[in-house]
Structure 1
Amino acid sequence: MPPEKDPYTFWQETLHGARYIVAPMVDASELAWRLLSRRHGAQLCYTPMLHSASFVKDAKYRRDALQSCDEDRPLFIQFCANKPDVLLKAVKMVEGHCDAVDLNLGCPQAIAKRGHYGAFLQDDWDLVYSLVRTVYEGSKLPITCKVRVFPDIDKTVRYAQMLESAGAQIITVHGRTREQKGRFTGLASWAHVKAVKKAVKIPVFSNGNIQYLSDVERCLKETGVDGVMTAEGNLHNPALFQGLSPPVWEMAKEYMTLVRLHPCPISFIRGHLFKLFQHCMLLKECKDLRDRLATRSTYEDLLSMVEDVEKHFHLYHDGSKELDLTEAVECVKKLREPIWLCQPYERPQSDISEPQAKKPKQEETSDCEVLPPGLSKNKLKKLQRYPNKQFRPRVLAPKCIQCANPRGEKCERKLCRVCCKSTCYSESLDCNGHRIWIGSKRQQALISTQHQVTVTL
Structure 2
Amino acid sequence: MEKSPVLIPKPKPLKPHNDPLHIIKTRRTTHKRPATIAGPMVRYSKLPFRQVCRQYDTDIVYTPMILAREFVRNPHARLADFSTNSNDSPLIVQVGTNNVMDLLKFVEMVSPYCDGIGINCGCPIKEQVREGIGCALIYNRELLCSMVKAVKEKYGEMLRLETKIRIHEDWDQTVRLCRDLCFAGVDWITIHGRTKNTRSSQDSNFEAIRYVVDRIHDKEVPIVANGDCLQWGDVQKIADITGAHGVMAVRGILSNPALFSGFKKCPWSCVEWFWYYTLEFGGLPYQLLQHHLYCMLENMEVPRNLIKDLMNIKGTSELLDWFGDHFELRRYGEPRFATCADIPWKNQ
**Bin for the TM-score computed over the shorter chain:** 0.7 to 0.9
- Which residue, out of 185, 188, 191, partners 1:173? 191
Task: Determine if the alignment matches structure 1 residue 127 to structure 2 residue 143.
Answer: yes
Separation of aligned partners in 2, 1:111 and 1:187: 24
Q: Secondary structure at the match of 1:95?
A: helix
Residue 192 of structure 1: how far off its partner (Å): 1.5
Is 2:121–2:138's contact at 8 Å kept on the other side of the alignment? yes
Residue in structure 2 matched with residue 330 of structure 1 by the alignment: none
Q: Distance in 1 between matches of 2:162 and 2:139?
A: 19
CA-CA distance at 1:232 after TM superposition:
0.4
| Aligned-residue offset at 1:274 | 2.1
Q: CA deviation at 1:116?
A: 2.2
CA distance in 1, matches of 2:54, 2:81: 19
1:78 to 83, 87, 94: 94
TM superposition shift of 1:10: 6.3
Cα shift readout 1:100-154 (whole Å, capped 9, x = no counterpart)? 1010000011221233210122222221122222212223422110001112222
- Within the candidate set 312, 320, 323, 1:306 is matched to 323
Deviation at 1:246, TM superposition (A): 5.1
Note if contact 1:156-1:192 (Cα within 8 Å) is conserved in structure 2. Answer: no
Distance change (3 Å), C-alpha of 1:177 and 1:308: farther
1:279-294 paired onto structure 2 within 5 Å: 283=303, 286-287=304-305, 289-294=306-311
What is the TM-score with the length of structure 2 in the denominator?
0.80
Q: Give the count of matched residue pairs.
A: 308
Counterpart position of 2:67: 51
Q: Contact (CA 8 Å) 1:40, 1:241: kept in 2 or not?
A: yes
Greater Cα radius of gyration, structure 1 or 2: 1
Tell me, in whole angstroms, the C-alpha distance in 2 between the residues paired with 1:42 and 1:203: 18
Query: RMSD in angstroms over aligned alpha carbons?
Result: 2.9
Separation of aligned partners in 2, 1:82 and 1:152 = 23
* 1:296 and 2:313 matched: yes
* Matching residue's letter, 2:160: P
Residues 249 and 309 of structure 1 are in contact (CA less than 8 Å); yes or no, is this contact kept in structure 2? no
Give me the identity figure in percent.
28
Q: What residue identity is the alignment partner of 1:127?
A: L
Deviates more, 1:294-303 or 1:100-109: 294-303
Q: Structure 1: 5+ residue runs without aligned partners? A: 323-457
User: Which of 41, 54, 59 matches 1:38?
Assistant: 54
2:21 pairs with one of 11, 14, 27: 11
Q: Are residues 213 and 320 of structure 1, via their aligned partners in 2, closer, same or farther at CA, if it must alter by over 3 Å?
A: same
Please state how far the C-alpha of 1:273 moved relative to its aligned partner: 1.6
User: Does residue 1:61 correspond to 2:80, yes or no?
Assistant: no
Q: Partner of 1:270 in structure 2?
A: 290
TM-score, normalized by length of structure 1?
0.62
What pairs up with 1:389-428 in 2 under 5 angstroms? none
Show the counterpart of 1:235. Answer: 254
Gaps of 5+ in 2: 1-12, 28-33, 329-339
8 Å CA contact 2:192, 2:204 repeated in 1 = yes
Are 2:60 and 2:91, in contact at CA under 8 Å, matched by a contact in 1?
Answer: yes
C-alpha distance in structure 1 between counterparts of 2:23 and 2:299, whole Å: 40
How far 1:249 sits from its partner (Å)? 4.2
CA distance in 2, matches of 1:321, 1:225: 48
Match of 1:28 among 5, 19, 44: 44
Give the match for residue 110 of structure 2: 94
The alignment status of 1:162 with 2:172, answered yes or no, reads: no
**Could you tell me which amino acid in structure 1 is paired with residue 258 of structure 2?**
A
CA distance in 2, matches of 1:282, 1:188: 29
Say whether the 8 Å CA contact 1:293–1:302 is kept in structure 2: yes
